[in-house]
Amino acid sequence: MLSFKAGRCNRRGETNWVDPTPTKGLITLETSAEDGLLHFSWKNRETGATDEDLILFPSEANFLKVDNVTGGRVYVLKFSSSDQRYFFWMQNADTGRDEYYAHNVNGLLDDPSFSPAEPPAAPAPVASTSAAPEPAAPSGSSQPSMEEQLRQLRELVQSATATAGTAAGPELTLTDVITPQSLEPLFARPDLLLAIFPNLPADLPGERNADTIREVIQSSAFKASLRGLQQALNTGLLSNLVISLGLPPEAGTGVGPFLRAISEQAQSSSTENPEGGDEHMETD
């Protein structure tokens, strides 16, 4: 539903001081497809690990700006039923979006069915770094050029997941089809791997090789994304997306039609390219 760059701050003992950590992070709010509850999570963008995953009920917490901070932008996730506090510092270069993120976080905290508003346009030029509050001053990173498009797709998929409710799933699932075993022929094709590498997350640790893709496919985050994509396909919301991929509109009406369209596209490409005679078998 919503995600933005933010680092964590650690409280200094029992005092009112907090110290920022230099680690690049990402706050994400989403309704889990497994339990149907709102999850507030913090992901380490350097390791890819989710170090904090909080389940929040409506009106249980607020996301508030900490005003008495020098040289940075600090927010606190404050619980109404306890003394729990989680502090974060904004790492997005565009400071003008802080209020936008805080408004939408609080909207989701009050009501998980809340629909985040469109973000404000980024000013030009935008600084490439964002400073942490004192005493530490680590650097943030610039916004990826494709972030806005990915955010829109993520919101569409999450919306489809939320509206699907408890409807029975189809017999054919993407998690059953896209597995390390079914993709093993892909790992033996360096030319195909090179086409995939640019689409991997920029902050993914390790080298770009077949083992990295195997790890991505087996990760819980990737499986959750597949489930969201599957729900979106089953609700027929992805017609425009599949058309942009060169597929017919009906490919966006379900998992079966989507896979059949990809198979037909691969067969057509194989027929047009006789030199790739083995490609047809591997794609199937």
- Residue 157 is assigned to a structural domain of this protein: no
Place of tokens 């990737």: 222
243-249-254-255 Cα dihedral, nearest 10 degrees? -50
The full length of the chain comes to: 284
* Predicted confidence pLDDT, tens digits, the chain (284 residues): 899 999 999 988 888 888 899 999 999 999 988 888 999 999 999 899 999 999 999 999 999 999 877 777 999 999 988 888 999 999 988 788 899 999 999 999 999 888 887 766 655 564 434 555 554 333 333 333 445 545 555 554 444 444 444 333 445 677 777 777 777 777 777 777 777 777 776 666 667 777 877 877 777 777 777 777 777 777 666 667 777 777 888 887 778 888 888 878 777 765 655 554 443 333 33
Q: Do residues 29 and 110 share a domain?
A: yes
Q: What are phi and psi of 96, to 5 degrees?
A: -70, -10
Domain that includes residue 116, residue range:
2-143
Q: Do residues 94 and 200 share a domain?
A: no
Give dist(CA 45, CA 21) in Å, integer: 13
pLDDT at 258: 82
- Residue 42 is assigned to a structural domain of this protein: yes
CA distances from 87 to 42, 54, 65 (A): 11, 14, 10
User: Hey, how many other C-beta atoms are within 10 angstroms of the C-beta on 182?
Assistant: 11
Of 110, 143, 176, at which residue does a domain stop? Answer: 143
Q: Do residues 117 and 226 share a domain?
A: no
Q: Do residues 208 and 268 share a domain?
A: yes
pLDDT at 142: 36
Place of tokens 């609700």: 235
- Which DSSP category does 200 fall into? S
Number of domains into which the chain is organized: 2
- Residue 12 is assigned to a structural domain of this protein: yes
- Residue 270 is assigned to a structural domain of this protein: yes
pLDDT at 34: 82
Q: Do residues 114 and 6 share a domain?
A: yes
Place of tokens 């709102």: 38
Give dist(CA 135, CA 19) in Å, integer: 7
Q: Do residues 192 and 132 share a domain?
A: no
Q: Do residues 16 and 95 share a domain?
A: yes
Of 76, 109, 143, at which residue does a domain stop? Answer: 143
Q: Do residues 90 and 223 share a domain?
A: no
pTM: 0.45
Of 143, 174, 194, at which residue does a domain stop? Answer: 143
- Residue 154 is assigned to a structural domain of this protein: no
- On whether the CB atoms of residues 52 and 23 are closer than 8 A, the answer is no
- Which DSSP category does 121 fall into? P
Contacts of 214 (CB under 8 A, 6+ apart): 180, 187
- For the domain that residue 61 is a member of, what is the CATH number? 2.30.29.70
- Residue 9 is assigned to a structural domain of this protein: yes
Q: Do residues 139 and 166 share a domain?
A: no
